[in-house]
A = this chain, B = another copy of it.
Amino acid sequence: MVDLPKKDAAFIDWYLAVVEEAQLSDKRYGVKGMNVWTPYGFLARRNLDRILVREIEATGSQPVEFPALIPATEFAKEKEHIQGFDAQVYWVTRGGLTELDVPLVLRPTSETAMYPVFALWVRSHRDLPLNVYQIVNTFRYETKTTRPFLRVREIHFFEEHTCQLDEERATERVQSNLVAFRRMADSFCLPYLAVRRPEWDKFAGAHYSIALDIPVGDGRTLQIGSVHHYRDNFSVPYGIRYEAPDGSARNAHQTTFGLSERLLGAIVAIHGDGRGAVFPAEVAPYEVVVVPIPSGDSATLVEAAALEIAARLGRAGRRVHVDRSEDRPGAKYYRWELRGVPLRIEVGRRETESRIATAVDRLGRKHPLPLDELDAAVARLLGEFDQALRAQAEARFRDSFSVADRLESLRDSTRVRLVGWCGEEACGHQIETSIDGALLGTPEGDLPIPVGVAKACVACGRVEGVRWAFASRPL
Contact = CB atoms under 8 A, between A and B. Distances in A.
B29 A66 contact: yes
A67 B154 contact: yes
Interface in A294-341: none
Interface stretch (A90-98, A406-414, A438-446): A90-98
A66 B137 contact: no
B96 A93 contact: no
B89 A92 contact: no
Contact of A94 (B31, B36, B90, B132): B90
A86 B96 contact: yes
Contacts of A97: 86-87
A216 interface: no
Contact of A71 (B31, B66, B92): B31
A92 B106 contact: yes
A474 interface: no
A339 to B, nearest CB: 14
B93 A28 contact: no
Contact of A68 (B30, B66, B137): B137
Contacts of A91: 92-95
Contact of A65 (B28, B37, B95, B143): B37
Contact of A36 (B35, B64, B71): B64
A69 interface: yes
A154 B39 contact: no
A36 B141 contact: no
B36 A67 contact: yes
Interface in A61-117: 62-71, 73-74, 86-98, 104, 106, 113, 116-117
A28 B90 contact: no
A120 interface: yes
A367 interface: no
Contact of A46 (B63, B71, B98, B106): B63
Contacts of A92: 90-93, 106
Interface residues of A, number: 51
Contacts of A42: 62-65
A71 to B, nearest CB: 5
Contacts of A113: 29
27 contacts: A26-B120, A28-B117, A29-B67, A29-B116, A30-B71, A30-B74, A31-B71, A31-B104, A35-B67, A36-B65, A37-B66, A39-B63, A39-B132, A42-B62, A42-B65, A68-B68, A68-B154, A69-B90, A69-B139, A69-B154, A86-B96, A87-B96, A90-B94, A90-B95, A91-B92, A92-B93, A93-B94
Given A30-B116, A92-B93, 7 more contacts: A28-B120, A29-B67, A29-B116, A29-B117, A30-B70, A30-B74, A31-B104
Interface of A: 26, 28-31, 34-39, 42-43, 46, 62-71, 73-74, 86-98, 104, 106, 113, 116-117, 120, 132, 137, 139, 141, 143, 154
Counting from the closest, the 10 A-B pairs by CB-CB distance are A95-B141, A39-B62, A37-B65, A34-B67, A91-B94, A87-B96, A96-B141, A30-B71, A42-B63, A93-B93
